[in-house]
């Protein structure tokens, strides 16, 4: 059995904090010191592009020290709105159909993570 990966991140309120890093985490290359409650593991972005522009991002996400949010692994989804005409709405709907399949893949990955305990 291999040892779990760990990462040590600087915080402004608790100094260096060592976390077990799940295999799906994309890393912490851009980490800046912040409060411990703000530490998070984030997976690779799944991006919805429409007309060549990113309009939504989704990824696995976990904030192990969160105080006012769940601490378990979840899928974080953002969506940026635009004013659209009817043709554009149909095009967006088609893109969302494709994106829905990618979101289902993230949900499947989340179920595997929770089942196998890679939190």
Place of tokens 């007309």: 51
Please state whether the predicted TM-score (pTM) of the whole model is above 0.85: no
Per the CB < 8 A criterion, the answer to whether 13 and 36 are in contact is yes
By three-state DSSP, how is residue 4 classified?
Answer: coil
pLDDT tens, position by position, 18-65: 999 999 999 999 999 999 999 999 999 999 888 898 988 899 999 999
Place of tokens 């990462």: 7
pLDDT at 85 over 80: no
Long-range contacts of 53-57 (CB under 8 A, 24+ apart): 55/79, 55/80, 55/82, 56/80, 56/99
Instruction: Kindly list the domain boundaries of the chain, sorted by start residue.
Output: 6-116
Using CB atoms within 10 A of its CB, is residue 94 exposed (0-12), middle (13-18) or buried (19+)? exposed
């Amino acid at each position: 059995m291999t040892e779990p990966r760990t990462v040590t991140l600087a915080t402004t309120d608790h100094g260096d904090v060592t976390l077990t890093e799940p295999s799906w985490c994309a890393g912490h290359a851009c980490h800046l010191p912040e409060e411990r409650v703000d530490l998070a593991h984030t997976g690779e972005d799944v991006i919805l592009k429409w007309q060549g522009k990113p309009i939504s991002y989704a990824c696995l996400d976990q904030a192990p020290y969160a105080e006012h949010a769940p601490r378990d692994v979840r899928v974080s989804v953002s969506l940026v709105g635009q004013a659209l005409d009817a043709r554009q709405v149909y095009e967006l709907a088609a893109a969302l159909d494709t994106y829905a399949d990618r979101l289902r893949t993230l949900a499947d990955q989340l179920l595997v993570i929770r089942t196998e305990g890679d939190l």
